[in-house]
Amino acid sequence: MKIKDATFITSVAGADKFLKTDKPIIAVAGKSNVGKSSLINMLANRKKLARTSVTPGRTRLINYFDFGDFILADLPGYGYAKVSKEEKQKWGKLLESFLATQKINLLLSLVDIRHDPTADDKMMVNYLYHYAIPFCLVATKADKLGKTKIKPRCKEIATELRVGVGDITASSAETGYGKEEILSLIEKAITPVED
Protein backbone atom coordinates (compact mmCIF):
# COMPACT_ATOMS: atom_id res chain seq x y z
CA MET A 1 0.00 0.00 0.00
CA LYS A 2 1.34 3.41 -0.97
CA ILE A 3 0.12 6.63 0.63
CA LYS A 4 0.14 9.25 -2.12
CA ASP A 5 -1.32 12.18 -0.29
CA ALA A 6 -2.52 12.68 3.25
CA THR A 7 -4.26 15.83 4.46
CA PHE A 8 -5.55 17.15 7.75
CA ILE A 9 -9.37 17.36 7.83
CA THR A 10 -10.48 18.65 11.22
CA SER A 11 -10.18 18.43 15.02
CA VAL A 12 -13.19 17.66 17.20
CA ALA A 13 -13.75 18.03 20.93
CA GLY A 14 -17.12 16.29 21.32
CA ALA A 15 -19.05 13.22 20.19
CA ASP A 16 -21.60 15.40 18.37
CA LYS A 17 -18.83 16.46 15.98
CA PHE A 18 -17.45 13.00 15.09
CA LEU A 19 -16.71 12.80 11.39
CA LYS A 20 -19.30 10.98 9.33
CA THR A 21 -17.64 9.16 6.46
CA ASP A 22 -18.11 6.21 4.12
CA LYS A 23 -14.38 5.57 4.15
CA PRO A 24 -12.85 2.97 6.49
CA ILE A 25 -11.51 4.40 9.77
CA ILE A 26 -8.09 3.60 11.19
CA ALA A 27 -7.58 4.96 14.71
CA VAL A 28 -4.31 5.60 16.54
CA ALA A 29 -4.29 5.45 20.34
CA GLY A 30 -1.65 5.42 23.04
CA LYS A 31 -0.44 7.20 26.10
CA SER A 32 0.91 10.74 25.90
CA ASN A 33 4.32 11.05 24.24
CA VAL A 34 4.33 7.48 22.89
CA GLY A 35 4.88 8.75 19.34
CA LYS A 36 1.40 8.88 17.77
CA SER A 37 2.10 12.01 15.72
CA SER A 38 5.51 10.71 14.61
CA LEU A 39 3.93 7.42 13.47
CA ILE A 40 1.22 9.29 11.52
CA ASN A 41 3.87 11.44 9.84
CA MET A 42 5.91 8.33 8.97
CA LEU A 43 2.87 6.60 7.40
CA ALA A 44 2.00 9.77 5.47
CA ASN A 45 5.58 10.33 4.24
CA ARG A 46 5.29 13.85 5.63
CA LYS A 47 7.30 15.51 8.36
CA LYS A 48 4.67 17.89 9.72
CA LEU A 49 1.22 16.50 8.91
CA ALA A 50 0.54 15.70 12.57
CA ARG A 51 2.16 18.11 14.99
CA THR A 52 4.74 16.48 17.22
CA SER A 53 5.71 17.91 20.57
CA VAL A 54 8.23 17.21 23.29
CA THR A 55 5.49 18.17 25.75
CA PRO A 56 3.21 15.21 26.49
CA GLY A 57 -0.54 15.68 26.36
CA ARG A 58 -0.63 17.93 23.29
CA THR A 59 -3.34 15.96 21.47
CA ARG A 60 -6.46 16.91 23.40
CA LEU A 61 -8.90 16.52 20.54
CA ILE A 62 -9.59 13.84 17.98
CA ASN A 63 -7.69 14.85 14.85
CA TYR A 64 -8.90 13.46 11.53
CA PHE A 65 -6.68 12.97 8.48
CA ASP A 66 -7.66 11.87 4.97
CA PHE A 67 -5.23 9.21 3.75
CA GLY A 68 -7.04 8.64 0.45
CA ASP A 69 -8.26 5.07 0.92
CA PHE A 70 -9.07 5.59 4.59
CA ILE A 71 -9.59 8.19 7.31
CA LEU A 72 -7.07 8.18 10.13
CA ALA A 73 -8.28 9.33 13.55
CA ASP A 74 -5.60 10.44 16.00
CA LEU A 75 -7.07 9.98 19.48
CA PRO A 76 -6.09 12.02 22.57
CA GLY A 77 -3.14 10.58 24.50
CA TYR A 78 -4.04 9.01 27.83
CA GLY A 79 -2.20 8.71 31.13
CA TYR A 80 -0.58 12.15 31.21
CA ALA A 81 -0.13 13.11 34.86
CA LYS A 82 0.19 16.89 34.55
CA VAL A 83 -3.39 17.69 33.59
CA SER A 84 -6.32 18.20 35.92
CA LYS A 85 -8.56 15.32 36.90
CA GLU A 86 -11.45 17.03 35.07
CA GLU A 87 -9.39 17.30 31.88
CA LYS A 88 -8.41 13.61 32.13
CA GLN A 89 -12.06 12.62 32.58
CA LYS A 90 -13.04 14.77 29.59
CA TRP A 91 -10.42 13.03 27.40
CA GLY A 92 -11.51 9.65 28.77
CA LYS A 93 -15.15 10.30 27.93
CA LEU A 94 -14.26 11.52 24.43
CA LEU A 95 -12.08 8.45 23.84
CA GLU A 96 -14.70 6.05 25.18
CA SER A 97 -17.49 7.67 23.21
CA PHE A 98 -15.41 7.43 20.03
CA LEU A 99 -14.57 3.75 20.56
CA ALA A 100 -18.16 2.88 21.46
CA THR A 101 -19.87 4.65 18.56
CA GLN A 102 -17.51 4.62 15.56
CA LYS A 103 -17.01 1.71 13.19
CA ILE A 104 -13.25 1.26 13.43
CA ASN A 105 -11.60 -1.03 10.88
CA LEU A 106 -8.34 -1.17 12.84
CA LEU A 107 -6.98 0.55 15.91
CA LEU A 108 -3.22 0.92 16.21
CA SER A 109 -2.56 0.80 19.94
CA LEU A 110 0.87 2.29 20.61
CA VAL A 111 3.25 1.35 23.42
CA ASP A 112 6.83 2.51 23.98
CA ILE A 113 9.14 -0.47 23.36
CA ARG A 114 11.55 0.76 26.05
CA HIS A 115 9.04 0.66 28.90
CA ASP A 116 6.72 -1.89 30.43
CA PRO A 117 3.06 -1.34 29.52
CA THR A 118 1.27 0.90 32.01
CA ALA A 119 -2.03 0.20 33.77
CA ASP A 120 -3.61 2.54 31.18
CA ASP A 121 -2.13 0.47 28.31
CA LYS A 122 -3.57 -2.70 29.86
CA MET A 123 -6.94 -1.04 30.35
CA MET A 124 -6.95 0.04 26.67
CA VAL A 125 -6.21 -3.50 25.44
CA ASN A 126 -8.88 -4.96 27.75
CA TYR A 127 -11.35 -2.37 26.46
CA LEU A 128 -10.53 -3.25 22.83
CA TYR A 129 -11.04 -6.96 23.55
CA HIS A 130 -14.26 -6.28 25.45
CA TYR A 131 -15.80 -4.25 22.63
CA ALA A 132 -14.33 -6.51 19.92
CA ILE A 133 -12.50 -3.64 18.20
CA PRO A 134 -9.89 -5.01 15.78
CA PHE A 135 -6.48 -3.80 16.89
CA CYS A 136 -2.76 -4.24 16.50
CA LEU A 137 -0.11 -3.21 19.01
CA VAL A 138 2.69 -1.03 17.70
CA ALA A 139 5.86 -0.86 19.81
CA THR A 140 7.29 2.56 18.97
CA LYS A 141 10.82 3.97 19.27
CA ALA A 142 12.47 0.69 18.20
CA ASP A 143 15.52 2.66 17.05
CA LYS A 144 16.32 3.27 20.73
CA LEU A 145 17.09 -0.46 21.21
CA GLY A 146 19.75 -2.62 19.63
CA LYS A 147 18.38 -4.71 16.71
CA THR A 148 18.82 -8.00 18.62
CA LYS A 149 16.72 -6.69 21.52
CA ILE A 150 13.63 -5.76 19.48
CA LYS A 151 12.05 -9.23 19.07
CA PRO A 152 12.59 -10.36 22.69
CA ARG A 153 11.23 -7.02 23.94
CA CYS A 154 8.12 -7.33 21.75
CA LYS A 155 7.59 -10.82 23.15
CA GLU A 156 7.76 -9.46 26.73
CA ILE A 157 5.25 -6.70 25.94
CA ALA A 158 2.92 -9.16 24.20
CA THR A 159 3.03 -11.45 27.25
CA GLU A 160 2.33 -8.56 29.60
CA LEU A 161 -0.62 -7.35 27.53
CA ARG A 162 -1.86 -10.91 26.88
CA VAL A 163 -1.73 -10.70 23.10
CA GLY A 164 -0.10 -13.00 20.59
CA VAL A 165 3.46 -12.09 19.65
CA GLY A 166 2.21 -11.86 16.03
CA ASP A 167 -0.16 -9.06 17.12
CA ILE A 168 2.67 -6.65 17.91
CA THR A 169 4.75 -4.73 15.39
CA ALA A 170 7.91 -2.84 16.29
CA SER A 171 8.37 0.50 14.58
CA SER A 172 10.59 3.55 14.45
CA ALA A 173 9.45 6.85 12.99
CA GLU A 174 13.13 7.87 12.89
CA THR A 175 14.25 5.05 10.58
CA GLY A 176 10.96 3.91 9.00
CA TYR A 177 11.36 0.49 10.61
CA GLY A 178 8.04 -1.40 10.63
CA LYS A 179 6.32 1.06 8.25
CA GLU A 180 5.60 -1.48 5.47
CA GLU A 181 4.29 -3.99 8.00
CA ILE A 182 1.89 -1.41 9.49
CA LEU A 183 0.71 -0.29 6.04
CA SER A 184 -0.01 -3.89 5.04
CA LEU A 185 -2.02 -4.41 8.27
CA ILE A 186 -4.04 -1.29 7.38
CA GLU A 187 -4.53 -2.49 3.80
CA LYS A 188 -5.80 -5.86 5.05
CA ALA A 189 -8.15 -4.11 7.50
CA ILE A 190 -9.73 -1.85 4.85
CA THR A 191 -10.00 -4.40 2.05
CA PRO A 192 -13.57 -5.75 1.82
CA VAL A 193 -13.82 -9.49 2.40
CA GLU A 194 -14.95 -11.43 -0.68
CA ASP A 195 -18.04 -13.58 -0.13
CB 24 within 8 Å of CB 104? no
31/86 Cα distance (integer angstroms): 17
* pLDDT at residue 14 greater than cutoff 80: yes
Mean local confidence (pLDDT), 82-107: 75
Mean local confidence (pLDDT), 43-68: 74
pTM: 0.89
Mean local confidence (pLDDT), 53-71: 74
- Give the β-pairing of 135-140 and 106-112: parallel
- Give the β-pairing of 71-74 and 25-30: parallel
pLDDT bracket for residue 97 (50, 70, 90) = confident
- Give the β-pairing of 168-170 and 135-140: parallel
pLDDT value of residue 54: 45
pLDDT bracket for residue 58 (50, 70, 90) = very low
* Helix (H/G/I), strand (E/B), else coil: 27: strand
